[in-house]
Chains A and B, each alone.
Chain A
Amino acid sequence: MRALKAYPALLRAYWERAVTYRAVFVVALLNAAFPLVMMAIWIGMAQDGPVVGYTAADFASYYLSAILVWRATSVGIMQDAERMVRTGELSVYLIRPLGVFHHFFARVLASRPLAAAVPAVLVASAALLIPGQQFDLRLLNLLLFGLACGVGLVFEFLMQYLVAGLSFWIVQTQGVSAAYQFVRAFLGGYIVPLALFPPALGAILIWLPFQVSVALPVELLTGRLDLAQGALRLGAGIAWTGLAGLGAQIVWSAGLRSYTAVGA
């Protein structure tokens, strides 16, 4: 309960910090280059007829939404967490009354408006300009979309926190994190929509944890899922999130016990 009371102050502090480095957003937008290239080629292919029900406009709306969702659910705390453990800076946080978890979580939450706002404006203007795009903007669906994005964000945060916890034992966790982003981008539907995988593979992918932070919200927003299906996959996502939380808890409590506070 005390943690909850501290959140307004934490969020304000980390919001100030987030707006200090605005130029980084331009770079982050450029990470969208690979999916945009994929989009262009699919659109070229769709000119001789739809690909598994996706027309050129469908591809445009899918990938634009995917960029928005990817930005909204991507978490980058690895670098700082690893440095804190390596240099012993973590000790400062450990003697504070509020756990280090809350510092990271507040920081991620405070960075969300900026992370999502720029792509949101771009996607919205593209949606208005390009004809024939389809978004499902019914209120219930939008609520489910928002909920899916929230669950996706929490899942990504817990996964990053879990991998960051590995830095108690291994030094190069950034490599692990980069590899994870690669896997997530491909198997989560950021590079290619899951519906375009071979059916047998696609049927597995929609139940894997990676879909919750990209494919699920995108398919909801573009109206490719009915509510029942969406709710079912969201449930699976919540279950995976619980597992990730459990894993993070185990890693961090074991790690803190073996922590030797270098340099303190």
Chain B
Amino acid sequence: MRCLWQSARRHAGLLRLFIQNSLLANLEYRVNFAGALLMSLLDALWAVGGALLFYTHRTAIGGWTFHETLIVIGLFFIASGFVDAVMQPNVRDVIEAVRSGTMDYTLIRPINPMFHATLRRFRFEKLSGLLVGTSLIGYALSQLQLWPAPERWLVFSLLGLAAVALLYALMAALAALCFWVVDVANVDELVLGILEVARFPAQAFPEPLRGLISFVFPIAFISTAPAEALLGRLTLPLALCGLGFTLFALWLSAWAWRRAVASYTSASS
């Protein structure tokens, strides 16, 4: 138990170091943040504009009103901001390192290679999505005149964290894939493409797509489920199902990394 605690503290310290380093590197290019924020705002304008156009023709879609949908859109921006800021740069680095053989330098370090390879670099300017997403959620709640009870906030944050962990596991597993298939470049674009489905509530999609994204491929847990938690519509089995999915995905990605590192052949040496 003590050993586990020590390991957790060591990793937290390292994570802080990685974040500090990235922050220093990012501060060199401060103008980039303004550019990224502008792009996020434009993107948000289109997502909200698109939703607004849906709602000029119907008052509710799949049981969701316009302002309720805004919460889902906000969560989508937070999720894609996380993918852009954390996952994309690291997955690109892993692919490049495996191809060129510089993965060696990661593997000889006395640290879990998955941890080091997937959480080393952060692009802070891409966190603009986070800013836009939280503002959307805040606006939606004020328009709905809704101030959720503390336990709803608790479930909401729990499921939100689970969504982030799910995305992390997904991208880490894909990064592990490139140990076997080096020609997997742009695989991050694939994830971003699939993530687009999280822009709108899962119930707004026609069957069989709705069932597919709710249960088979759990995109609904990224934006729809946390929004439902905030609105008090989420049932307990569904919440547990989401947490279970996340734990399974985390275990799967860790397993994939162990297998991947074992089969690494080191291109350069």
Contact = CB atoms under 8 A, between A and B. Distances in A.
Interface of A: 23-24, 26-27, 30-31, 33-34, 36-38, 40-45, 47, 51-52, 172, 175, 178-179, 182-183, 185-186, 191-192, 196-198
**9 closest A-B pairs (Cβ-Cβ)?**
A30-B193, A44-B206, A33-B196, A33-B193, A27-B186, A182-B42, A51-B57, A175-B35, A27-B189
A192 B38 CA distance: 22
Interface in B44-94: 46, 49-50, 53-54, 56-58, 61-62
B196 A182 contact: no
B61 A45 contact: yes
B216 interface: no
Nearest to B204: A41
B49 to A, nearest CB: 7
B194 A33 contact: yes
Contacts of B209: 40
B70 to A, nearest CB: 15
15 contacts: A23-B183, A24-B186, A40-B205, A41-B204, A44-B61, A44-B62, A44-B204, A44-B205, A51-B58, A172-B35, A175-B38, A179-B39, A182-B42, A182-B46, A186-B46
Contacts of B121: none
A25 B58 CA distance: 36
Nearest to A45: B58
Interface of B: 31, 35, 38-39, 42-43, 46, 49-50, 53-54, 56-58, 61-62, 183, 185-186, 189-190, 192-194, 196-197, 199-200, 204-206, 209
Contacts of A23: 183, 185-186
A154 B53 CA distance: 30
A40 B57 CA distance: 15
A102 to B, nearest CB: 31
B204 A186 contact: no
Contacts of A26: 186
B194 A45 contact: no
Contacts of B46: 182, 185-186, 191
